[in-house]
Amino acid sequence: MLKHLVFMKFKAGIGEAEIKDLESRFAALPSRISEIKEYVFGPDVVRSERSHDFALVSAFEDLDAMKRYQVHPDHVALVGRVREMAESILAVDFYY
């Protein structure tokens, strides 16, 4: 299995309504993209200077499954919204 971790730091001025909308968009993906085996996400609860604002943890059967997920039109649209909101995005992928 492949684990996919994403950490987002939002631009100044991103409000709770925008974050809730983002959560709704993430929540919709597992029913639309069969490659997703695990999909959990949410805002940071500590909010320290070293933390990011939002994280996504997902799992896929293998790298090929994740690549199919990455080009799925629903995921591509969501990534566009994340890029509008985020000043930085970090990702790590590893097998477990």
The CATH code of the domain at 2-95 is 3.30.70.100
Flag whether pLDDT at 6 surpasses 90: yes
Q: Which of 88, 78, 93, 86 is nearest to 24 (CA)?
A: 78
The pTM (predicted TM-score) of the whole model is 0.93
Q: What is the largest CA-CA distance in the chain?
A: 37
Determine how many CB atoms are found less than 10 A away from the CB of residue 70.
14
- Read off the pLDDT of residues 8-30 as tens digits, 9 standing for 90 and up: 999 999 999 999 999 999 999 99
- Read off the pLDDT of residues 36-82 as tens digits, 9 standing for 90 and up: 999 999 999 998 888 999 999 999 999 999 999 999 999 999 999 99
